[in-house]
Structure 1
């Protein structure tokens, strides 16, 4: 790892890097789910309102997204605690 750092500093730096990488993975998932929900649900032209089916689809998609996000966060936290 980086020279000149104590073992404690190296571990702290490694933990920081892992946390930032986990944040980046979550952010990437958010972008992927946003794209997926939009592509799946928005089928008509964009107007001032969503269509009834589009609104329900987006709501369900977002709910599944939130469920998935919570699962990811929980798993990442479990992994972090194991370290």
Structure 2
């Protein structure tokens, strides 16, 4: 493989890695929302009350904190 082919392959691999990271991020967001929805949402309505907003905020923050803790432990 010549230098150009190698550069093209490296660029393609980088693009694939970026798209994989995006996909993992989107999956994590959906997982967080599913978990927090089940935990915090009693009955859907036109607006979120303060209690539900706080529950969602705390749920997401704890999920992020836990994920960060696990990533730090793995490293």
Instruction: Structure 1: give runs of 5+ residues left out of the alignment.
Output: 79-83
Corresponding residue number in structure 1 for 2:36: 37
Instruction: Give the match for residue 59 of structure 1.
Output: 57
Q: How big is the alpha-carbon RMSD for the aligned residues of Structure 1 and Structure 2?
A: 2.6
Tell me how far 1:43 sits from its aligned partner.
Answer: 1.4
- TM-score, structure 1 as length reference: 0.62
What is the CA-CA distance between 1:17 and the residue it aligns to?
Answer: 0.3
Detail structure 1 runs of 4+ shifted over 6 Å in the superposition: none
TM-score (norm 2): 0.67
Aligned residues between the structures: 68
Counterparts of 1:40 and 1:14, CA distance in 2: 39
Q: Distance in 2 between matches of 1:27 and 1:49?
A: 23
Please say if 1:25 is aligned against 2:24: yes
